Amino acid sequence: MATESDLKTVLDGLAGTRGWQEDFYRHLHQHPELSHQEHRTATQVAERLADTSFDIHDGIGGAGIVGVLRNGDGPTVLLRADMDALPVREATGLPYASTATTTDADGSEVPVMHACGHDVHVTCLLGAAQLLSDATDHWTGTAVLLFQPAEETGDGARTMLDDRLTDLIGDVDVALAQHVLPFPAGIVGTRPGSALSAADSMRITVHGRGGHGSMPQATIDPVVLASMIVIRLQTVVSRELAPAEPAVLTVGSVTAGSKSNIIPDHAVLELNVRTYSADSRDTVLNAVKRIVQAECQASGSPREPEFELYDRFPATVNDEDVTERVADAFHRHFGECSETLPLQTASEDFSDIPDALGVPYTYWGIGGADPDTYRSAEAAGRVSDDIPVNHSATFAPVIQPTLDTGTQALVVAALAYL
Ligand code: ZN
Ligand code: ZN
């Protein structure tokens, strides 16, 4: 494991990376790409990595890039950044704002913006790569960098895993990742245990028997059936989970029928579930199926209901030991700027990778908001009004100290092992 003086020497390299990192960031911000389309971004990542000693593997699971630097005996640390942007029209007014548009997966022309800050993650990981590569006398082990496509669609991590990722990187000891969030730049936030929720969307089709609205006795009414299901689903969180176990089940869409005097032959419900542990996720999803099947039986439904799960994100549950080790290292390096991250209701697919590899992980937050703006908003009780959150058209992390902090955080956490 690197000493404090090794860490200091590695981080001294920031004076040399800061300049190109800021230019790279502005360029990447201006040229965002949607999930599964990150090819230009990947090319730029590979070009930048070519200046380091990392072995580069490209085209993994689409646009994914893997960099591996074997530097003697020691543990293997995986560091991951996501690369994709969102279909949002940028309204930050920044000189390097995106005006890009593209064709999305449905064939529609859409604006594109790095509204989630993945351009920060890519730039910080490239900076960390350069720092590690330039100071190999000051650490030992193997560093694995993962530039992942398609986080926003929840399938990029799995696509990389399905495309020989495990063979490429071999055994890994610990996996690390970070996200820029709407709190003051310069702050890092760690959290042991549950950090981000799992998310699952489900489309359910229930079947009835259609007919004339005046002759209900000849029909099986799927509108009544769907209504019973919506009401009964309200008991899943309230009656089947412990009061201290947070979860959300929302039926966001119910569709059936076309006219007041026609009883339709089917109804479609779409629901979204947020949970914080594998157990509660199983409990909720199984309860939904059980209730839907039972209500269909109660109505005399002529066919089994159909279930389709989509937009699925795993829960992010940080390993206690890894988080403690990284948080201690952050505390030594960042001092008071190392804080505890509150439980987040957002979701991420990062944990698919360590879960598939069977390795512990931790995922932390870095601030991106201008510290002065944040503190005056906080003093005025206007944080939620004045500080744009991820995915909004005005989300605009300040370049510094955000990039410096994110780059240092990756190196500090990696060198807590290497
Ligand atoms: Zn996002
Ligand atoms: Zn994100």
Rounded CA gap, 96 and 349, in Å? 28
Domain match, 252 and 387 both? no
Domain match, 179 and 34 both? yes
Domain match, 157 and 285 both? no
For range 240-248, the mean pLDDT: 94
Cα 307 to ligand 2 centroid, rounded to whole Å:
28
Whether 1 shows a pLDDT value over 90: the answer reads no
In this predicted structure, what is the pLDDT of residue 406?
98
Angle at 263 between CA 259 and CA 264, to 5 degrees: 85
Best CA proximity match to 139, nearest among 330, 9, 298: 9
In this predicted structure, what is the pLDDT of residue 2?
86
In this predicted structure, what is the pLDDT of residue 376?
96
Assigned token pair, 109: 């022309």
Q: Contact 307/202 with Cβ under 8 angstroms?
A: yes
Residue type, 52: T
Task: Please give the share of the chain, as a percent, with pLDDT higher than 90.
Answer: 98
| Average pLDDT over the chain, rounded to an integer | 97
- 246: helix, strand or coil: coil
Domain match, 398 and 411 both? yes
Domain match, 326 and 305 both? no
Domain match, 65 and 189 both? yes
What residues sit around ligand 2, an ion, with C-beta below 5 angstroms? Answer: 116
Domain final position from 298, 313, 328: 313
Cα 85 to ligand 2 centroid, rounded to whole Å:
8
Domain containing 376: what range?
4-194+315-415
User: Which ligand is located closest to the Cα atom of residue 121?
Assistant: 2
Confidence of residue 278 (pLDDT cuts 50, 70, 90): confident
Cα 181 to ligand 2 centroid, rounded to whole Å:
9
For range 265-281, the mean pLDDT: 95
Domain match, 180 and 35 both? yes
Domain match, 178 and 324 both? yes
Task: Please give the share of the chain, as a percent, with pLDDT higher than 70.
Answer: 100
pTM recorded for the entire structure: 0.89
Cα 136 to ligand 2 centroid, rounded to whole Å:
31
Please report, to the nearest 10 degrees, the dihedral formed by the alpha carbons of residues 148, 153, 158, 164 taken in order: -50
